Amino acid sequence: MAISRIARAGALAAAATLALTACSTGTGGDGASGDCAPSDGPVELDFTSWLPGIDEAVAIWNEENPDIQVNVQTGPNGLGGTYQNFFNQLEAGNAPDLGQIEYDAMPNFRVQDGLENIAACEGILEAESQFVDWTWSQVTFGEEDAVYAIPQDTGPMAMFYRADLFEAAGIEVPTTWEEYQAAAEVIRGEGGYITNFSQSDINQFAGFVWQTGGQWFSNDGDSWQVNLEGEESLMVAEYWQGLLENDLVSANPPWTDEWNAAFNNSEVWTWVSAVWGANTILSGAPDTAGNWAVAPMPQWEEGASAAGNWGGSTTAVLKGSEHPYEAAQFALWLNTDADALTAMNRTAQIYPATIEGANLPVFAEGVEFYGGQEIYQVFAEAGTNVDPNFVWGPTMTQVYNDVADGFSGAISGSGTLMDALTAGQQSTIAALQAASIPVQE
């Protein structure tokens, strides 16, 4: 009893200072401290990721480390199927040694006990200072002596827009959401859509809420509060509901050919997205090369500079890996080494989670597809304006699914985005209760 009370007190203290924390009875149970030793002899590691061109970065490692060879398996993006594969593989006890997991899914994997605590592995705890603060707190859950993954990239948001079309139509680049709506009306008059509302990938909407300073989850150390229908969320929902009702935004399902085609044939003019979205547009809309530019995200208040964050991944050592030491070394190398970070930026346009990485020459270069603009400067600036304390709940897969179902309904005319959030609020509380995770009703 005494031990658990102390642990609880410790957890409460952590909760007071850090965004994401556990009310678990302690950080033990994972047998972390002191048992992360190198394996004897050559080691082969499996690594599952959906980052385009990840094999190029891995090839650098394999050349330098003949005794630790990493095999890459690629898959669909996390919510598109890779997470489900991980959950199944973890259940079956044959998960890959390493997996790509986004920050928002970290609590979900932690709840399923799918992550190896690599804090005891050489050099991991010391690496903290290399990373942007908020990314590190996302992989430690605010626990002492715990590191559950190595941050890979961040997803500060900005606005991709068709500079050529805006100029031809004589529209000023919108700096506020009000101007954005006004621009949407003009663009609709020209036969286009200002953007596509991402109804089945809720992360973008979460990024919009993040920008306003809203929170979907919080944890007081004992239980979770779910707040999908908070003031900020409803404000954002009402704004997009208005655009949808006036047919000012298209509603193609994201990440599909139809959606790419809408960018490629100039039907859709802007996309408020994360830095890695640069890759999405340049691979999905090749005919529009040179015509895009990047500007900061529109603001709710004139003159403000708040930004949201969408995505960003980690490299996690999954539970059951026989070689956690080597896996941890690889994960650390992949996300801190200058060559690896440069390679991943070249193939996937991702923006690193390390402080040093952002100073690499590649991030000061102009990008041809974006008219030679130094787009990473815009995202670096946005990165400094992201609220570092956004909290993800422990069942995000379910939250995204349920809200997406509601949003889809709203688009085909049954209910509104606001109704979808209300329904999502209830189903999330039910899902937490079903998983016997303490939650306030």
Partner 1 sequence: MTTTTRSPQTGASPARKGGAKQASKAVRHRGALAFFLAPFGVLFALFYVIPIGYAVYQSTLVVERDGTFGAARQVFGGFSQYISVFENEAFWQSISRVMLFGVVQVPIMLGIALILALLLDSPLVRGTKFFRLAFFAPYAVPGVIAAIMWGFLYSPNLSPFTDLTRAVPFLSGEFVLWSIANVVTWVYVGYNMLIIYSALLAIPQEIYEAARLDGAGQVRIAWSIKIPLVVPALVLTGIFSIIGTLQLLAEPQVFRSFTSTVTSDFTPNLLIYSTASVPNVSLAAAMSVVLALATFILSFTVLKLTQKRTQA
Backbone angles phi, psi at 354, to 5 degrees: -90, 150
Examine residue 441 and tell whether it contacts partner 1 (CB under 8 A): no
User: Which stretches of 190-323 are DSSP H helices?
Assistant: 203-212, 231-245, 257-264, 277-284
Residue closest to 249 by CA, chosen among 310, 161, 185, 307: 185
State the Cα–Cα distance between residues 348 and 388, nearest whole angstrom.
Answer: 24
State the Cα–Cα distance between residues 381 and 441, nearest whole angstrom.
Answer: 38
Examine residue 83 and tell whether it contacts partner 1 (CB under 8 A): yes
| C-beta of 326 vs 402, nearer to partner 1 | 402
CA-to-CA separations, 50 to 30, 101, 397, in angstroms, rounded = 27, 10, 17
Among the listed ranges 110-118, 120-128, 225-233, 355-363, the one in contact with partner 1 (CB under 8 A) is 110-118
Question: What minimum distance in Å lies between the beta carbon of 56 and partner 1?
Answer: 27
Each residue 185-204 as x (binds partner 1 by CB under 8 A) or -, in order, gives --------------xx----
| C-beta of 152 vs 200, nearer to partner 1 | 200
State the Cα–Cα distance between residues 48 and 291, nearest whole angstrom.
Answer: 34
Examine residue 409 and tell whether it contacts partner 1 (CB under 8 A): yes
Among 262, 285, 294, 382, contact with partner 1 (rule: CB under 8 A): 262
Length of the chain: 441
Sequence-ordered list of residues with C-beta below 8 angstroms from that of 140, at least 6 positions apart, any chain: 146, 147, 148
Examine residue 392 and tell whether it contacts partner 1 (CB under 8 A): no
Among the listed ranges 108-116, 127-135, 208-216, 346-354, the one in contact with partner 1 (CB under 8 A) is 108-116
Question: What minimum distance in Å lies between the beta carbon of 17 and partner 1?
Answer: 17
Among the listed ranges 23-31, 162-170, 281-289, 373-381, the one in contact with partner 1 (CB under 8 A) is 23-31
Among 237, 411, 417, 421, contact with partner 1 (rule: CB under 8 A): 411
Q: Tell me the two tokens of residue 80.
A: 């598109």
Examine residue 142 and tell whether it contacts partner 1 (CB under 8 A): no
CA-to-CA separations, 247 to 185, 192, 308, 312, 351, in angstroms, rounded = 9, 11, 25, 31, 34
For residue 41, which amino acid is it? G
Lookup result for tokens 């060879």: 69
Examine residue 1 and tell whether it contacts partner 1 (CB under 8 A): no
Among 44, 64, 67, 91, contact with partner 1 (rule: CB under 8 A): 91
Examine residue 29 and tell whether it contacts partner 1 (CB under 8 A): yes
Binding site for partner 1 (CB under 8 A): 11, 22-25, 29, 83-84, 87, 91, 107, 110-113, 141, 199-200, 219, 222, 224, 251, 253, 255-258, 261-262, 265, 267, 394-395, 397-398, 401-402, 404-405, 407-409, 411-414, 431, 434-438
